[in-house]
Structure 1
Amino acid sequence: MKAAVMISDGRMQVIAARLEELGMDMMRATDTASMQAVEEAAPTLDFLLLPIRGVDGAGMVHIPGVDYPAGTILERLKPEAVLLTGLHTDYLHALDRPVFCYYDDAQVREENTALTAEGLLYYFMQVTPKSIYEYTVDIIGYGHVGRKTAELFERIGIAVRVVTDEMPEEGGIPMIAYDHWKNGKSCSVIINTAPSTVITKTMAEHFQPGTIIIDIASNQVGVEPAVYEMPHICVKAAPGLPGLVAEQSAGEILADYIERNFLKKTGF
Structure 2
Amino acid sequence: MLKGLQVAFLGGDTRHLEMILRFVEWDANVVLIGFEQIHDRFNGVSMAKLAKEVLRKADVLILPVVGTDEDGRVESSYSTDTLVLDNVCMDWLPKHAKIYTGAAKPYLKNLCRNHGIDLVELFNRDDVAIYNSIPTAEGAIMMAIQNTDITIHGSRCMVLGFGRTGLTLAGMLQRLGAQVKVGVQKPDQFARASAMNFQPFFTKDLNDEVLDTDMIFNTVPDIILAAHVITRISHRAIIIDLASKPGGTDFRFAEKRGIKALLAPSLPGLVAPKTAGHILANALCELIQDELRPDQVMEYA
Contact 2:269–2:276 (CA under 8 A) maintained in structure 1: yes
1:255 is aligned to 2:281: yes
2: CA distance, partners of 1:54 / 1:61? 7
2: CA distance, partners of 1:46 / 1:188? 50
1:10 is aligned to 2:14: yes
Change (3 A) 1:80 1:219: farther
Contact 1:59–1:91 (CA under 8 A) maintained in structure 2: yes
The one-character-per-residue Cα deviations of 1:213-257 (angstroms, maximum 9, x if unpaired) are 211112343224644653422221113122333322221221111
Partner of 2:42: none
Partner of 2:43: none
1:26 is aligned to 2:39: no
Partner of 2:126: 106
Partner of 2:61: 48
1: CA distance, partners of 2:143 / 2:91? 38
Partner of 1:170: 195
The aligned amino acid for 2:150 is S
1:212: how far off?
A: 2.1
The aligned amino acid for 2:84 is P
Contact 1:27–1:38 (CA under 8 A) maintained in structure 2: no
Greater CA drift, 133-142 or 146-155: 133-142
1:186: how far off?
A: 5.4
Gaps of 5+ in 1: none
Contact 1:3–1:27 (CA under 8 A) maintained in structure 2: yes
Partner of 1:198: 224
Matches within 5 A, 1:201-216: 201-216=227-242
- Given candidates 76, 83, 86, the residue that maps to 1:68 is 83
Contact 1:227–1:235 (CA under 8 A) maintained in structure 2: no
Change (3 A) 1:190 1:45: same
- The size of the alignment, in residue pairs, is 267
Greater CA drift, 93-102 or 158-167: 158-167
1:132 is aligned to 2:151: yes
CA RMSD of aligned residues (A): 2.6
1: CA distance, partners of 2:226 / 2:57? 47
1:86: how far off?
A: 0.7
1:179 is aligned to 2:195: no
1:115: how far off?
A: 2.7
Contact 2:50–2:83 (CA under 8 A) maintained in structure 1: no
The aligned amino acid for 2:242 is I
Gaps of 5+ in 2: 39-45
2: CA distance, partners of 1:46 / 1:79? 9
Q: Equivalent residue of 1:236, what SS?
A: strand
TM superposition score normalised by structure 1: 0.87
1:55: how far off?
A: 0.4
The aligned amino acid for 1:218 is S
1:2: how far off?
A: 1.5
The aligned amino acid for 1:118 is E
2: CA distance, partners of 1:58 / 1:107? 30
1:31: how far off?
A: 4.2
Change (3 A) 1:85 1:171: closer
Partner of 1:78: 94
Identity between Structure 1 and Structure 2 (%):
24
Contact 2:235–2:259 (CA under 8 A) maintained in structure 1: yes
Contact 1:188–1:212 (CA under 8 A) maintained in structure 2: yes
The aligned amino acid for 1:54 is G
